[in-house]
Chain A
Amino acid sequence: MSNDPIHQFHLNKLIPLDIGGMDISFTNSSLFMVVTVAATSAFLIWATSGRGLIPTRGQSLAEMSYEFVASMLRDGAGSEGMKFFPLVFSLFMFVLVANLFGMFPYFFTITSHIIVTFALAMLVIGTVVFYGFYKNGLSFLKLFVPSGIPAILMPLVIMIEVISFISRPISLSVRLFANMLAGHITLKVFAGFVASLGAMGALGIGGAILPLAMTVALTGLEFLVAFLQAYVFAVLTCMYLNDALHPSH
């Protein structure tokens, strides 16, 4: 069991709940979502409570994260997009903190479950579609009609654009999920090599140095991936929101 790379993704019911035949148990995944949200909120509230003109380390970290997301959103969706700042900031911080929590040994990585990332992606696309129709009415559908295409090709091109649009939430969620899942499994497999080689005597211990070095390197890479995937998720959210704000192209 200790060497099973999949074991870390098992869901365990901590508080079994059943309402009307629906299993809504409080699992370890739910626990880590609560912990992620609580830690993020607690940190931001604590860090900004001082309101110093000269920020402390904590405050400057909070301001940095604000500035980072705000400039990303302004670049991606224009200053009109700032009305979505709470959404994008929450998504970014949630994914980032969840990914980083996943790097602690024995912690559960909630973003390694596709249903979680898919729900986040659907939240984004749902917002884009609802706001796009709310703001632009039916002209939101221009998103699927590139200009300067011969009329005879229109049905084909529109079909392709629609498929391309629907594939967005899927690729958005699969990308985050696959990165986290693959990274954690690789890490676990290489770390498992260290243990099993080390049990094979002197020669094995010598051979175990290689996977150990690999594990150390992969850990660094995983921290990079954890940040990068949260960043990519937020950047793509901004781009999709831009479509909702300015659909004509």
Chain B
Amino acid sequence: MGNKDDDLADQQRKARLSSLEQRLAKSRAEDAKQAAPSTGKPGYGNALKMSSEFISAILVGALIGYLIDTFAGTTPWAMIIMLLLGFVAGVLNVLRSTGSVADPYQAGWVSKPDRAKDQKGSKKAPDDLYDDDD
């Protein structure tokens, strides 16, 4: 008798637990959907982000060129070339952060199938976050 009651209660508990899990998963999914767009970004924050990415790449390019020139004595050629490359890298940075160019961290350049597999689940969210972070 008592055993049967226990079984029944156990089953009910399990059913309630699984329905709770379902509801939780559903609400978590909804939360995740809402979380990304809710970060209201001020436009100038976005502008600062883009410009900092653009300018920093140019500065780094110029600095590398200057260092090469200083050590190799090729003034001013390395600096000219690296400044231009820095400009390219800056444009690439900006295009990546606006999402106009395939980000290497997105699926676009992923070559290895194992990586695509293990990253599939966790890959979607960070890119969402990255896109509207500022």
Q: Which residues of A contact B (CB under 8 A)?
A: 72, 74-79, 146-148, 156, 159-161, 163-164, 166-168, 170-171, 174-175, 178-179, 182, 221, 224-225, 228, 231-232, 235-236, 238-239, 242-243, 246, 248-249
User: Does the CB pair A148–B111 fall under 8 Å?
Assistant: yes
Nearest residue, chain B, Cβ from A169: B56
Chain B residues positioned under 8 Å from A160 (CB to CB): 85, 88-89, 92
Roughly how many angstroms separate A147 CA and B107 CA in the complex, as a whole number? 12
Instruction: Tell me if B24 is interfacial: C-beta within 8 Å of chain A.
Output: no
Contact A246 B115, beta carbon cutoff 8 Å: yes
Report whether B57 and A232 are in contact in the complex, using a CB–CB cutoff of 8 Å. Answer: no
- Contact A167–B90 (Cβ < 8 Å): yes
Are the C-beta atoms of B109 and A146 separated by less than 8 Å? yes
Contacts of B80 in A (CB 8 A): none
- Kindly identify which residue among B45, B105, B109 contacts A225, using a CB–CB cutoff of 8 Å: B45
B-side interface size class: 35 or more
Point out residues on B near A: beta carbons under 8 Å. 39-42, 45, 48-49, 52-53, 55-57, 59-61, 64, 82, 85-86, 88-90, 92-93, 104-105, 109-112, 115, 118-119, 122, 125-126, 129-130, 133-134
A174 to B59 alpha-carbon distance, docked (Å): 12
B57's contact among A77, A163, A175, A224, by CB below 8 Å, is which? A163
State whether B45 touches A179 (Cβ < 8 A).
yes
| Distance A12 CA – B123 CA, assembled complex (angstroms) | 46
A225-B122 CB under 8 A given contacts A171-B93, A174-B56: no
A159 CA to B85 CA in the complex, in Å? Answer: 8
